[in-house]
Chain A
Amino acid sequence: MIKVNLVGNPNTGKTTLFNSLTHSHEHVGNWHGVTVEEKSAFYKYKGKEINIVDLPGLYSLTALSYEEKVASDYILKNKNRIIINICDASNLQRNLFLTLGLMELGCPIILAVNQIDKKKISKIDLAGLSNSLGIDIVYINASNRKSLINLNECLIKLNEKIENGYKPNYDLDYIKSLLNDNSEKLNKFNKKIYDYSKDDNNLNIFYKIKLLEDDENIKEKLSITDQFDKTICVATSRYNYIDNLMKIYSTTQNRTYGKSKLDKILLNRFLALPIFLLFLATAFYLTFFSVGAFLSDGLSYLLEQFISQPLLNFLIKTFGENNWLVSLVEVAIIGGMGSILTFLPQVALLFFFLSLLEDSGYLSRVAFVFEDVLGKVGLSGKSVYTLLMGFGCSTTAVLTARNMEDKNSKIKTGLLTPCMSCSAKFPIYAVLGGAFFGANNIFVIMGLYLLGVVIAIGLSYIFEKTCLKSKEQSFILEFPPYRLMSFKRTFSLLWQNVKLFITRVATLILAMNIIVWLLSNFTITFKFIGDENGVSMLETFGRILSPIFVPLGFNSWGLISALIAGLVAKEVIVSSIAMFNGVEENSINSIQSSILLTTSAVYFTGASSVLSYLVFCLLYFPCIATSSVLIKEIGKKWTFIGILIEFIIAYLTAFFVYTFARTIEVFGFWKSFITIITIFLILLSIIFVYKKIKNKKICPYKDKCSKNCKKF
């Protein structure tokens, strides 16, 4: 078996190549750091089995952020695997910097020059460059399978050579003189280095270079504390060598991004933010209201006509009306699962728009624009990616927090992702909000999305000012070119999302629905309730907890039981409510009418309690999948603290929303508006006066003070 690692700078097409070679469908995007963990797959070429590992992008073998550490650790641990080093043809200079690093480590390398930007005319003398560096170089187009034959041939040849005892021995003259100059200082550690590198001459040189660079990880491994301060010398000698090579072998006209006409508009100081918000609003409108809603209704009709009705008729014929199985299928599968399945078009569209943002290269521009705001609250422009992914699914979004360069920023980003309205929360808004607000629900939904973002940013600000100050967050982000999505990719994206959603509904949500059905149809003594009177297990449980939620306006046990069931997956909140109310169709309308009736098991007293319930659903505990990823990424302590804080925030916000909406309901809009403004003004003036008094206390010498301190 041939073992291969895919290594390269961020956003050079590693995962695209991986997908092409192995026919996989790993997530790719036109953004720096989409891949955050190693992914392994197998494929066959000419009867040879090849194991290929896709790694996160790297600039050098010294990691700065967490996903880079994953990659560099993997390369060091598996030094003998062949490395396919992907380079962006339009930016060969900087890409070769990493190649030199890999050569210093003595890995067997194939350089795959990927031509991403087709407009660019690059003339690189591959044969000459290959001779100078002593490594094989091939041209590829990562997304085109046919162009990969050369690469595979090259791989087979290199593997044969290695099997016949070939060991890479690169010409490292460019850096040897630097090593000689510092040999006195380095020789002190010869024994320590030898303990780790043994007879591997390359590893020996690699450790020495890393020492000169003051690489923290290597120094810790070798337990060396001396400072060498030669980082800049190492980088300079590498770049000088590359510059010389480029002069001889390349006539590439570099083209930078961020200067085009489109960028002039999209990055305009004042227009940038409105344009982005407009884009988001349009995407949401198309997804949730016009196109999405239309497709969703159609799907609901088709499901009802061709699946639910025939299935139900068949079951009633064979088992009779009052069988428990009929009830299970009717309530848990048709009512519960069907109601979620109708959201398929909308969820697929939402993910599609998110991918569009990511693929087009616009996201990097957005990150640049948002750095102003996010930098202030202790995040970085890069967090935009995590937050937007949070609109799709928090579980995958939390993983992208590995992009952060600083531990505290990573914890912060991870903790605030669950505040975003993920695609699983949308059905709750659509069903419950739609019942009370009708066409105005669009404002409620927009409001909820906005509330999520505002609370996430606020939370980050509080963390930044208290316990999680970011120390080394730097925000260095490379700008990618704009790229149009091909038709093929668009369809494959949509299809992937549809498949994912259906699998989720058919496995996790179906299982959860059956569990909820069992718990809500059997008493504590395991007796089937059916049409008889009896108190189910969930009802008992819900009633015990219900006093806690009285201040929030949740008046029925079913709402609380649904929240508990929703911990597994938020969609289950909708299907549970449908089940408690005995909804037997997969249409959303029947669920909506059922929650308006006071005779139902689950109902809302009014718009205020619905609003407070929606806010609570948005902010309370993250789902189990997200929590487990959080524990893995940021540790048990912070996950626990974060979940607790989120619960408190959810409770308080829901309480305020309920009180506020209730006041309006009872006293009318204007009266409550004036009252609230008055209270607000009084509070403000109290704070103002308090601050004035406090300031005076702090600085009694203010008038005599010669220093012009800006604090006062």
Chain B
Amino acid sequence: MLKLNECKENKLYTILYVDESLSNKIKRRLYDLGFLTGTNIKILRESLLKKAYLVEIRGYTLCIRNTIAKSIIVK
């Protein structure tokens, strides 16, 4: 069990849950985009200062900020 921002690049993980530190609005958006328990997720790339992550989920690519990545717990 670890946070998404601690994951290795190009390795497949499974989402466990999204933790409480995010506001309801952002959490809802993540659920809408399919960040649900059991969904597979992969980090494709990190930005230079690790402020942004490029992730692959449900067959599409998304940029997310590190504050969001920190709140996504995967295994």
Contacts and interface: CB of A to CB of B under 8 A. Distances in A.
Contacts of A472: 23, 25-26
Given A216-B25, A235-B31, A474-B26, A93 B52 contact: no
A286 B52 CA distance: 32
Interface string B16-35: 00000001111111111110
B43 to A, nearest CB: 11
A369 B47 contact: yes
Given A94-B34, A94-B58, A267 B45 contact: yes
A120 to B, nearest CB: 10
Contact of B51 (A90, A372, A474, A476): A372
Of B34, B62, B68, chain A has the most CB atoms within 10 Å of the CB of B34
Given A213-B28, A236-B37, A368-B47, A474 B59 contact: no
A90 B49 CA distance: 32
Interface string A364-391: 1001110110011000110000000000
A236 B36 contact: yes
Contacts of A255: 59
A269 B51 CA distance: 12
A576 interface: no
Given A97-B34, A372-B48, A474 B54 contact: no
Contacts of B64: 474-476
Contacts of A235: 28, 31-32, 34, 36
Interface size class of A (residues with CB under 8 A): 35 or more
A62 interface: yes
Contacts of A679: none
A168 interface: no
B60 A372 contact: no
A254 B59 contact: yes
A306 interface: no
Interface stretch (A183-191, A256-264, A508-516, A617-625): A256-264
B12 interface: no
Nearest to B54: A258
A91 B59 contact: yes
A477 interface: yes
B52 A475 contact: yes
A165 B67 CA distance: 51
B26 A59 contact: no
A91 B68 CA distance: 23
Contact of B24 (A97, A214, A259, A479): A214
B44 interface: yes
A60 interface: yes
Nearest to B45: A267
Given A372-B48, A372-B49, A231 B23 contact: no
A18 B12 CA distance: 39
A474 B34 contact: no
A214 B29 CA distance: 12
Of A216, A231, A376, A471, chain B has the most CB atoms within 10 Å of the CB of A231
A129 to B, nearest CB: 17
Contact of B63 (A214, A256, A269, A381): A381
A270 B23 CA distance: 33
A408 B30 CA distance: 21
A375 B63 contact: no
Contact of A64 (B25, B37, B45): B25
A702 to B, nearest CB: 30
B52 A371 contact: yes
A601 to B, nearest CB: 52
Contacts of A369: 47-48
Given A97-B34, A368-B52, A381-B52, A478 B61 contact: yes
B8 interface: no
Nearest to B18: A232
A372 B59 contact: no
A478 B60 contact: yes
Contacts, number: 135
A660 interface: no
A239 interface: yes
Of B27, B44, B45, B60, chain A has the most CB atoms within 10 Å of the CB of B60
Given A235-B31, A239-B34, A258-B54, A371 B60 contact: no
Interface size class of B (residues with CB under 8 A): 20 to 34
Interface string A182-214: 000000000000000000000000000000011
A62 B60 contact: no
Interface string A233-254: 0111001000000000000001
Interface in B37-75: 37, 44-49, 51-52, 54, 56, 58-65, 67-68
Contacts of B27: 231
Given A214-B24, A476-B63, A269 B48 contact: yes
B45 A477 contact: no
Given A214-B24, A259-B44, A371-B47, A232 B63 contact: no
A28 B17 CA distance: 36
Interface in A434-489: 471-472, 474-479
B72 to A, nearest CB: 12
Given A62-B32, A476-B62, A478-B62, A258 B24 contact: no
Contact of A474 (B29, B31, B37): B29
A375 B47 CA distance: 12
Contacts of B56: 256, 258-259
A447 B48 CA distance: 26
Of A59, A97, A258, A478, chain B has the most CB atoms within 10 Å of the CB of A258
Interface string A76-107: 00000000000000110110010000000000
Contacts of A475: 52, 63-65, 68
Contacts of A272: 48
Nearest to B42: A256
B65 A94 contact: no
Contacts of A270: 48
B69 to A, nearest CB: 11
A235 B15 CA distance: 15
B32 to A, nearest CB: 4
Nearest to B17: A232
Contacts of B58: 93-94, 254
Contacts of A257: 60-61
A474 B37 CA distance: 21
Contacts of A93: 34, 58-59
Nearest to B27: A231
Nearest to B46: A269
A256 B31 contact: no
17 contacts: A64-B28, A97-B32, A213-B28, A214-B24, A232-B37, A236-B31, A254-B58, A258-B61, A368-B47, A372-B47, A372-B51, A375-B52, A471-B23, A472-B26, A476-B26, A476-B29, A479-B54
Given A258-B44, A371-B52, 15 more contacts: A62-B28, A93-B58, A231-B27, A235-B31, A239-B34, A267-B45, A269-B48, A270-B48, A368-B47, A372-B48, A375-B65, A476-B26, A476-B29, A476-B30, A479-B63
